[in-house]
Structure 1
Amino acid sequence: MERAGPRLSRTLALWAALSPGLGLAQEAGPFATPLPQTLPSPSVTGPQLPAPTLEGEAPLSLTATLAGSDRPLRSGLAWRIYEDRTDAGRPAIVARSSAADPSFTLSPGSYVATVTYGFASASKRIVMAGAPVSDQVKVSAGALKLSGAIGEVRIPGAQLAFSVFVPIGTNSEGRLVRSGVKAGELVRLPEGTYHVVSTYGESNAIQRADLKVENGKVTDATLNHRAATVTLKLVAAPGAEAFAGTAFSVLTPGGDTIREAIGAFPAVTLAEGDYVLIARHDGQVFTREFKVESGLDRDIEVVARAS
């Protein structure tokens, strides 16, 4: 085969440079520059476009306000959007949110928007027809804020627990709404009358009250206890050191057990009244009667005398 002349070599080199991927660069002679068989795809950057919506979908924007007020609620909300079904089947949840002012993208149709605010809730029927909709849901709710005191002295919140009931008929504790409510906690409730039970300590220091909750208002109530905290001791003589590992039982004069405790000097909170204290230590039993006066915290000593 004859060697290509200078003019032919230059022609082949130019053809290879203009026609990548044809394999001619390997045969174009010493004047050709090898090119890659494939070229990288160009990189295109730009702003991210929103995901396309289905035909007819449109946004639904919602806010919640307290009944009798135009001030929107900004926290403690739970939203759910249900299908508005005409059959007897259970409606399906199509969207949910905990935002103060949520926005949902919905297809044309009928829906029920429900918002929960604490133990209060409200709902509204919404019709979507392919256009944006903004609406407002009114919630009939107020709140309870509870605390306890003995006379003018506020009881530390850690020593209190509250339970909230809805009265049913003549039963003031007909239905439990919430137990374990802490002092100072805001309990959101529908408008109405509630029965509140306040427990101070872990024994029988209990107070009750009926409280009314009004729309858009916080009912701040202090339940006044008549109780005291006593420290139980078994001693060899008045004012002497207490015996460790003593088992104590606090009884009513009728023999009902109110509280049991073990230790050298356990503290017990009791409602005011008369009690019997039984102390057991090393197989021996000692007793004494004592009285609790409201607001008077003191030591109750049982003297261990040989029988």
Structure 2
Amino acid sequence: MRPAALLCAALALAAPVPTTSGAAVAQTMQFLGPPAAPPPAGPFAAPPGLSRPAFQVPGGAPGPGPGAAPANREPHAVLPQAPAGKAALGVFARFGSEGGAIARGVVWRVFADQPESTGAFPLVAESAEASPVFFLNPGGYIIHVSYGFASAAQRVQMGPVSRRQAFDLPAGALRLSADVDDKPIPAQKLTFDIFEGSFLQGRTSSQPYYRGASAGEVVLLPEGTYHVVSTYGDANAVVRADVTVAPGKLTDATVHHRAAQIMLKLVKVAGGEAQADAQWTVITPGGDTIKESIGAFPTFVLSEGDYTAIARKDGKNFSREIKVEAGKNQEIEVLAK
């Protein structure tokens, strides 16, 4: 595990989170993130098919976002004077009722609490500041706040008196990586799908909560248990692990693969030139097809185990039994005879 670069002056390590196929550690965050992606179109949920935002850790330690409160102090102790006929609403989000204020990466939207004839709630105001102040006419509103995948919506009734309102977002962050034989796997060869729930306890969603996360990407999530599916390459090197996201903490999780990269070539003699346009199939001892390809040097990432590599050239089949061992990349020749 590698420590995360965070804004906190002192990092408090949480207890490691056990998984079956990886390791995780959580660290306190007072968190991070560039300007957020566009917020949902309504106060309660994102439209179907809208890609959810994920945040990359900037190259350097980020400073407080616009409107951020000083450390250990909640914002809006004093509110500005509102224009005539309006009242000021100062809002801020925090990592749960006992957590600190979220310093950046928050998106706010203010809707009227009565829908139009179309059923949509009219958008009154929006802001990407951490703790904005809205000047509102007396009446009812729905305040929606989002922080990555975590969000909350609350009705607020505004009268002539200005007020402040805290929103509890028990959210944390997850950063994933993977290795094989204790060696990091290049990020471009990895993808991660994140599901809600626990695979070990048989309670996991059927659809990914977030699909195609990259190694090193920081994904902001509501607190809870998530099931991570790590895919190395594009064949059968897949590992599953459960991780827990705690509010206000960045959890680094490393998944351990047992796989290797195999390059095949069809040759007429040992050490000879690879034959072009060969058709390749890799199967298990039980006859299940793992991967197919065409070319002189097909390369696959396979989970450790026994396989048969079959090459078809000029109407003839040539095969060789192969054994894949974790972390041992191989170049394997199949003789065309």
TM tier, smaller: 0.7 to 0.9
Separation (CA, whole Å) in 1 of partners of 2:317 and 2:99: 68
Separation (CA, whole Å) in 2 of partners of 1:202 and 1:280: 22
Question: Where does 1:174-253 land on structure 2 (aligned, <5 Å)?
Answer: 174-253=206-285
1:59 paired residue number: 88
Provide, for residues 263-306 of structure 1, a one-character-per-residue CA deviation record: whole Å limited to 9, x for no partner. Answer: 1112110000111111112222211111111110011110011x
CA 1:166–1:175: 2 relative to 1, 3 Å: farther
Partner of 2:253: helix, strand, or coil? strand
1:303 paired residue number: 335
Range with greater deviation from structure 2 (135-144 or 296-305): 135-144
Deviation at 1:54, TM superposition (A): 8.1
Decide which structure has greater strand share. 1
Residue-pair matches, total: 253
1:5 paired residue number: none
1:104 paired residue number: 134
Separation (CA, whole Å) in 2 of partners of 1:66 and 1:160: 30
Is the CA contact (8 Å cut-off) linking 2:113 and 2:121 kept in structure 1? yes
Is the CA contact (8 Å cut-off) linking 1:69 and 1:216 kept in structure 2? no
Deviation at 1:68, TM superposition (A): 5.0
The letter for the 2-side match of 1:78 is V
1:150 equivalent among 174, 180, 201:
180
Separation (CA, whole Å) in 2 of partners of 1:244 and 1:228: 24
Partner of 1:158: helix, strand, or coil? helix
User: C-alpha root-mean-square deviation of aligned residues, in Å?
Assistant: 2.4
Separation (CA, whole Å) in 2 of partners of 1:257 and 1:111: 57
Separation (CA, whole Å) in 1 of partners of 2:314 and 2:170: 62
Question: Where does 1:257-272 land on structure 2 (aligned, <5 Å)?
Answer: 257-272=289-304
1:81 equivalent among 74, 87, 110:
110
1:278 paired residue number: 310
1:8 paired residue number: none
Q: Which runs of 5+ in 1 are unaligned?
A: 1-52
Which structure ranks higher in relative contact order (CA pairs < 8 Å, sequence separation ≥ 6)?
Answer: 2
CA 1:279–1:191: 2 relative to 1, 3 Å: same
Separation (CA, whole Å) in 2 of partners of 1:215 and 1:68: 10
Separation (CA, whole Å) in 1 of partners of 2:94 and 2:309: 56
1:120 paired residue number: 150
1:291 paired residue number: 323
The letter for the 1-side match of 2:302 is L
Decide which structure has greater helix share. 1
* Identity among equivalent pairs (%): 46
Separation (CA, whole Å) in 1 of partners of 2:206 and 2:251: 21
Provide, for residues 88-147 of structure 1, a one-character-per-residue CA deviation record: whole Å limited to 9, x for no partner. Answer: x66443222222223322110122212111111123332322343333222111111110
Is the CA contact (8 Å cut-off) linking 2:261 and 2:299 kept in structure 1? yes
Separation (CA, whole Å) in 2 of partners of 1:201 and 1:118: 28
